Structure 1
């Protein structure tokens, strides 16, 4: 089931990032893909940061959350380094693919996606440490095995 959810989320990220008109997708639920056979690779290097645009900031938050969730699904909440690398490669792939769908892929989006991935990785590590600490505390609180009542019948 986790693999199904992970693949489904990866497909959703692809649709969100490569659909021709993100607003039509968001507001009218219409995914439209148009192929650009000769993309402009210089688009990746543009630094058109639009801090005053609420829509731009919301898209960057969406990038962060989208790849944060992808990392959680890929790592199964265990903090896997392989999952981190896979998620970062997928983030880079989606940005490059955007160029082939008349969208503007950006290096800074890969950085933003990676930040979401690394935050999820750290969350998983902290969760694992908490689980280990809790399990150790439970184990220490248990009475020793020899102090438990015996399964043998007692004679009177």
Structure 2
């Protein structure tokens, strides 16, 4: 049996359950999915952490992990279906949230949506869009249902000098 013994701080233990999935990454960068087998009943009094035991697949499916290696990981706390759209695509009017879909004829159609989690500048849309029609990304607050729009592509972002690779030259 190959397992990952994760040290988890006490405040995060309440969100971890047996049977949950975990993604374990070795120092070499390979990742493998495991399953939480058990959680230690007590915390280490000095470190204030508890051990969480994660079963990993054996054989060739273990991503190159070996007993005694250091590894880090993430626990999969939850998943939800939905579409991620930029926050700028969502318009709040009269206590409801809307996005504007663009029809093939270039008319915008106001769609009432139900929102979920937020992640940075993105918001999850749980209901109201199906992913088939393109959505207005910017300027949606200035539109009304039925307005005619022209779809344009966002300009490509040029690499800045700071992100360009540096070259070194040596002088004799």
Query: Aligning the two structures, in what range does the TM-score lie when normalised by the shorter sequence?
Result: under 0.3
More helix by proportion, 1 or 2? 1
More strand by proportion, 1 or 2? 2
| TM-score, scaled relative to structure 2 | 0.21
Select the structure with the greater relative contact order (CA < 8 A; seq sep ≥ 6): 1
